[in-house]
Amino acid sequence: MAKVLLRIIVVALPALVLLAYVEFGLSQLDTHYLSKKNFLEKQKNDIVVLSLGSSNAYYGINPETFSCTGFNLAYNAQSMYYDLQFVEKYIDELPRLKLVVLPIIYYTMGSDLLNTSQDWRVFFYKQYYGLPLQRPDDGVFSVIKQLIDARNYTKIALYGDTLYAHFKSGFSGHVDYVPERTGWYNSSSVDKADLNKFVGRDAAVAHSRDYDPNTAKRNIAYWQVLVDLLNEKHIQAVIVHLPEHETYYKNLDQSKLADFNMTVNTFARKNGLAFADYSQDPRFNLDDFTFMVDHLNPHGAAKLGEILDQDYIKKLCR
């Protein structure tokens, strides 16, 4: 029996060592989930302004333009549920925090991360930040399936199909976006807007198709918990609707857009929050956008940052 066990160990040990090596290598990958977390935690004692949100905010809010220390904690496809989770996780660790910027986005408010092709991101939030999973609402079976998913526990499963490529590269190189030290994504390498392409129209049609008023109500409820928590800590919040080019906002479903505006305005009034609607601000033009005409380029992000600083932030920095 002892000899059999010894043989099993001899056979299994190299495989276990290899798995441990791969798991460790993947944990060191330069992904923005890791790099932004490290940037944030090195600056926790200095941050006065925290900006949340989805990719529009990731591209479009540049804290380097603020009069005091700010940090951009937006990620691509970030749902309002994860805005709440970030505040719950970090609010007691940011002693100088005075303002939270809440970017409001038509598509994000009306959709659910779990029902998109980006649903894999919930496991990155879990593994890199320890945030609780956003639970599916379509039955116990889906919840159990999510809980036992190996992507909760191992980066080998998390990186899945790209595993061999990372192994072959020696776990070097950038996996995805490369954020600045302030958490903002400098999209200078991204193409600028081109009106000869129907990106604005096509994005508006797709976003309108996915917008669901019931989902919007559920998402705004997450923000209600978030704002209540900020109020308890005497931290201000401002809702910001980022600039959009007319080729985008003019092609949105007008009835769903009306629902979006009503929901946001009602929420702002109920909570006594400022609502900075820059979505159709004439100070922004085509030169301020990437090829996604609801995503600002660095020029547009600098412009928006200066406006936010003048309107809401500078007075908090004294």
Tens of pLDDT, residue by residue over 102-124, are 999 999 999 988 888 889 999 99
* 9 confidence band (pLDDT: 50, 70, 90): low
**Alpha carbons 77 and 72: distance in angstroms, whole number:** 14
- Rounded to whole angstroms, how far apart are CA atoms 112 and 128? 21
Report if pTM > 0.85: yes
Q: Could you tell me the pLDDT band of residue 269, with boundaries at 50, 70 and 90?
A: very high
CATH number of the domain that 156 lies in?
A: 3.40.50.1110
For the record, the structure tokens of 26 come out as 């993947």
- Structural domain count of the chain: 1
Q: Distance between CA 91 and CA 124 in Å, rounded?
A: 21
- The answer to whether 51 touches 308, Cβ cutoff 8 Å, is no
Reading the block at residue 142, the tokens are: 């889906």
CB count in 10 Å sphere of residue 300: 26
Q: What is the pLDDT of residue 197?
A: 67
Give residue 178's domain range. 2-316
